[in-house]
Amino acid sequence: MSQKKSNDDGLEKAAIGCWKIVVFLMTLCFYGAKKLEWKSLWFWYKQLVLVCAVYVFVYHKDYSFYNGFSFVFGNPLPFWFKLFFGMPLVNQLWTLVGLFWVGSLCYLGFEENRRYKTFQKAIDRSGLKTAIGEVPKVKKIIPTGEHRSKVIVETFGVGVGKFEAQKDSLTAGFRQTVESINLAEDKGKVEIYLCEKDLPKFVGFHELYSHVKEPYSFIIGQSMKGPVVQPIRSLPHLLISGATGGGKSVFFRSTMLSLLKSSPHLQLYLLDLKRGVEVKEFAELPNVRTAKDEVEATNILGALVKEMNRRYKILEKNGRKSIDPKRDKLDLIVVGIDEAAALFGKKSNELARQHIGELSRLARAAGIHLVPSTQKPVKEAISTETLDNLPGRMTFRMISAAASNVAMGGNLAKKLPAIKGRAMWTNGSDHEQVQAPYIDDETMNVELQVIKDEFENNERSNFQNMLKIEEDQEDLDAMTEGPSDES
Ligand SMILES: Nc1ncnc2c1ncn2[C@@H]1O[C@H](COP(=O)(O)OP(=O)(O)OP(=O)(O)O)[C@@H](O)[C@H]1O
Ligand SMILES: [Mg+2]
């Protein structure tokens, strides 16, 4: 009696064990099946090749593979082998395909399961938890494109801000770049966007310029999502900032070149208070004026304000809201200022500050756009009001979180890797890490010569003459008499 009971117990345990194995394999297969790319043609092609290969293998069972088995498993072959080859051909075929499928799905499921566990571990280790110790849980990993995925995490009340604060630990834990963290539609979950690829450490000007399709556009750089090109008219002003040596001047020059190349009717005013060294090659072009000292720069800004007022009158007269170069036969004007702090940082230069404030507020509709560049956009250099009117920000690496905050409204520029040309691109409230394009002096000169030749051969022309720059005596007096201490 007791013998029978222990036999029954043994059978029951074996049945439960088998069931557990089946459930485990089914779970693995389920995860594996989620990973399969059912819709890809390549997937079905591989299935076809597999069926053909199995068919050939079984059909030619006395061919070398079969003999190979007796070499491996010994002669006579084990019972399961005989069992298999004792079956009709079609059954053999299906058995092999079935085994292959279960094996592949289990393997994929195993890999996927491991991925879930790695991601969960990364979250556990980042220290994210609620006040009562609940740790956010990985719910789903969804591929969103090549090298990209989205991890959906149940938060149990841990806010997106806390996830953002742990971005570095999560990047290290996931071993992938965390591109962004958003609140999911279901408010109890967050979505963490990951990318397996890293940004390139270098990207050439021409590699990116081929993506400029619209007129009056320039290249921002290479982002994780691809090349970023920006039409200046929809920006409308751009602030370039970052610590010394990050790549501001290179970006400033590449931006001016992109604009020159892409814009059919453009006037460029370049103010470079480093005695014009960064912009001297541009001075040769008929649609470019450069200024290399304070007085010249202030006079140019004064002329631009006058032109802006004149254009506003034209708009008023025609009942229009903004200038369209083609329609109104007026050139688009871009004002580039390298080392803006050297111009606006001087207490004496109140007039230049006033002009730039006015332009940043109103010039957009008049088809005049500003591109100032500075190491630190402190209020002594650029007023807070002017800063508010510069929505496009290209911020290279900053040495302090405070400087990064002033420049782009967050500490992301402080966290940038120490790679030349690496910057945060901010348009409104969107931030994106980019690698800015590099252009060397020689290539720049060749490009500028092409544009110069186009003007000489009448292949290019402007609607207007360049602005008349008048010396403002009052302005001159103020600058020569007033204190000139730099902030
Ligand atoms: N996009 C880039 N890709 C690769 N290297 C770059 C890039 N931009 C700049 N560099 C390298 O970094 C050096 C410094 O760049 P740049 O003169 O533009 O810095 P900066 O920010 O203007 O510095 P400063 O504030 O001192 O004027 C360049 O000479 C160049 O070698
Ligand atoms: Mg510079």
Q: Which ligand sits closest to the CA of 247?
A: 1
Least-confidence region, from 4-8, 209-213, 337-341, 424-428: 4-8
User: According to the model, what pLDDT value does residue 474 have?
Assistant: 55
Q: Which is more confidently placed, 186 or 287?
A: 287
Q: Which ligand sits closest to the CA of 272?
A: 2
Q: Nearest residue CA, atom 16 of ligand 1? A: 247
Q: Which is more confidently placed, 407 or 269?
A: 269
Q: What span, in angstroms and rounded, lies between the C-alpha atoms of 248 and 114?
A: 43
Q: Which fold has domain 127-195?
A: Alpha-Beta Plaits (3.30.70)
Distance of CA 98 to the CA centre of its chain: 44
Q: What span, in angstroms and rounded, lies between the C-alpha atoms of 417 and 220?
A: 18
Q: For residue 221, which atom of ligand 1 is closest to its CA? A: 1
Is the CB–ligand 1 distance for residue 438 below 6 Å?
yes
Mean pLDDT over residues 93-114, rounded? 81
pTM over 0.75: no
Eight-class DSSP state of 284: G
User: According to the model, what pLDDT value does residue 373 have?
Assistant: 92
Q: What are residue 384's DSSP bridge partners?
A: none
Is the CB–ligand 1 distance for residue 222 below 6 Å?
no
User: According to the model, what pLDDT value does residue 485 have?
Assistant: 41
Q: What string of DSSP letters covers 113-162?
A: HHHHHHHHHHHHHHT---TT-PPPEEEEEEEEETTEEEEEEE-TT--HHH
What mean pLDDT value characterizes the chain?
84
Mean pLDDT over residues 172-182, rounded? 86
Q: Are 350 and 298 in contact (CB under 8 A)?
A: no
User: According to the model, what pLDDT value does residue 456 have?
Assistant: 94
Is the CB–ligand 1 distance for residue 221 below 6 Å?
no
The full set of domain ranges for the chain reads 13-114, 127-195, 205-481
Q: Which is more confidently placed, 379 or 181?
A: 181
- For the stretch 313-348, pLDDT in tens is 999 999 998 999 999 999 999 999 988 877 776 666
User: According to the model, what pLDDT value does residue 70 have?
Assistant: 62
Is the CB–ligand 1 distance for residue 200 below 6 Å?
no
Q: What span, in angstroms and rounded, lies between the C-alpha atoms of 384 and 371?
A: 16
User: According to the model, what pLDDT value does residue 69 have?
Assistant: 61
Task: Measure 243 CA to ligand 2 centroid, in angstroms.
Answer: 9
Taking CA atoms, 419 is separated from 9, 228, 266, 318, 450, in Å, by 67, 19, 33, 49, 31
User: According to the model, what pLDDT value does residue 276 have?
Assistant: 60
Q: Which of 206, 208, 250 to mutate to test the pocket of ligand 1 (most atoms within 8 A of CB)?
A: 250
Mean pLDDT over residues 37-66, rounded? 69
Q: Which ligand sits closest to the CA of 397?
A: 1
Q: Which of 199, 201, 202, 249 to mutate to test the pocket of ligand 1 (most atoms within 8 A of CB)?
A: 249
Given a cut of 80, is residue 132 above it in pLDDT? Answer: yes
Task: Measure 422 CA to ligand 1 centroid, in angstroms.
Answer: 10
Q: Which is more confidently placed, 239 or 486?
A: 239
Is the CB–ligand 1 distance for residue 292 below 6 Å?
no
Is the CB–ligand 1 distance for residue 299 below 6 Å?
no
Q: Which ligand sits closest to the CA of 250?
A: 1
Given a cut of 70, is residue 459 above it in pLDDT? Answer: yes
Report the percentage of the chain scoring pLDDT > 70.
88
Q: What are phi and psi of 43, to 5 degrees?
A: -60, -50
Long-range contacts of 465-469 (CB under 8 A, 24+ apart): 466/267, 466/286, 466/287, 466/289, 467/267, 467/269, 467/289, 467/300, 467/303, 467/304, 467/306, 467/307, 468/303, 469/289, 469/296, 469/299, 469/300, 469/303
Q: Identify the band that residue 484 occupies on the pLDDT scale cut at 50, 70 and 90.
A: very low
Q: Identify the band that residue 417 occupies on the pLDDT scale cut at 50, 70 and 90.
A: confident
Q: What span, in angstroms and rounded, lies between the C-alpha atoms of 419 and 437?
A: 13
DSSP-derived 3-state class of residue 366: helix
**Structurally, what CATH architecture does the domain formed by 205-481 represent?**
3-Layer(aba) Sandwich (3.40)
Task: Measure 404 CA to ligand 1 centroid, in angstroms.
Answer: 18
